[in-house]
Amino acid sequence: MMPGMPSDSLQVAERIDRPADAVYAYVADPAHITHWAPGLGDRVEQVDGEWFVQTGMGRVQVVFAPENDFGVLDHEVKLPTGERFYNPLRVAPYGDGSEIVFTVRRTPGMSDAEHARDAAAVAADLARLKQILETGA
């Protein structure tokens, strides 16, 4: 491993009783971010074709992978400081429904407790996404 690279990753998954293309379409629309991932921020806006979320750290830019047929929803978050974080996110068919998997990467200097806290926050977001997509609530 190269110096400064994340030391490990955790995959957080949630099965959703909805077709993968429906899950993909919902998550791929940045306007929905604050509905299913409210911990990220409380307001989302599009400015000149770019998406921004108002967070506790200020206004962050979110850029999703281009639309694709493989369920790839990877996205980059750019903080006001200029730091960028690449977040792997995928949705795939699973039986009659789908599974969404978010890779939570440990950043340099992140403690085990902080990494576990991030993974728990992602798990809560994916559970909220499941509830929204399965019940409309």
Closest to 18 measured CA to CA, from 106, 121, 103, 94? 94
Residues near 48 by beta carbon (within 8 Å), at least 6 away in sequence: none
pLDDT at 105 over 80: yes
Please answer whether residues 94 and 19 qualify as being in contact, where contact means their C-beta atoms are separated by less than 8 angstroms. Answer: no
pLDDT at 107 over 80: yes
Q: What is the pLDDT of residues 62-101, one digit of tens each?
A: 999 999 999 999 999 999 999 999 999 999 999 999 999 9
9-135 folds as Alpha-D-Glucose-1,6-Bisphosphate; Chain A, domain 4 (3.30.530)
Q: What is the pLDDT of residues 22-72, one digit of tens each?
A: 999 999 999 999 999 987 888 999 999 999 999 888 899 999 999 999 999
pLDDT of residue 6: 45
Please answer whether residues 84 and 78 qualify as being in contact, where contact means their C-beta atoms are separated by less than 8 angstroms. Answer: yes
Helix axes 20-28, 112-135, angle to 10 degrees: 110
Domain spans, the chain = 9-135
